[in-house]
Amino acid sequence: MFGLFKKKSEKEKLQQQYAKLMKEAHTLSTSNRKLSDEKAYEANEVMKQIEKLS
């Protein structure tokens, strides 16, 4: 309850975006490999940004 209005840090936002992209890549891997690879690439770019912040 006390963290209800706490703003997320940039790193937390990027981690959520990375998890979302990886989930999308996994679901697309069974139907469309090209789109899956594109999502995985985007997720990799987000991970690079997270590593820069660390």
Question: Within a domain: residue 2?
Answer: no
The Cβ of residue 40 has, within 10 Å, a number of other Cβ atoms equal to 17
Cα–Cα distance measured from residue 42 to residue 5, given in angstroms and rounded to the nearest whole number: 29
Q: For the chain, what is the mean pLDDT?
A: 92
**Is residue 2 pLDDT above 70, yes or no?**
no
* Residue 4 pLDDT level (bands cut at 50, 70, 90): confident
Residue ranges making up the domain that contains 43: 10-53
First to last CA, the chain: 28
Give the residue, 47 or 2, on which the prediction is more confident: 47
* Residue 42 burial (10 A CB sphere; 0-12, 13-18, 19+): middle
Number of domains in the chain: 1
Question: Within a domain: residue 18?
Answer: yes
pLDDT of 1 reads: 57
Question: Within a domain: residue 3?
Answer: no
Q: What is the mean pLDDT of residues 31-52?
A: 96
- Quote the tokens at residue 2: 């006390």
Question: Within a domain: residue 1?
Answer: no
Question: Within a domain: residue 42?
Answer: yes
Question: Within a domain: residue 27?
Answer: yes
Q: What is the mean pLDDT of residues 45-50?
A: 96
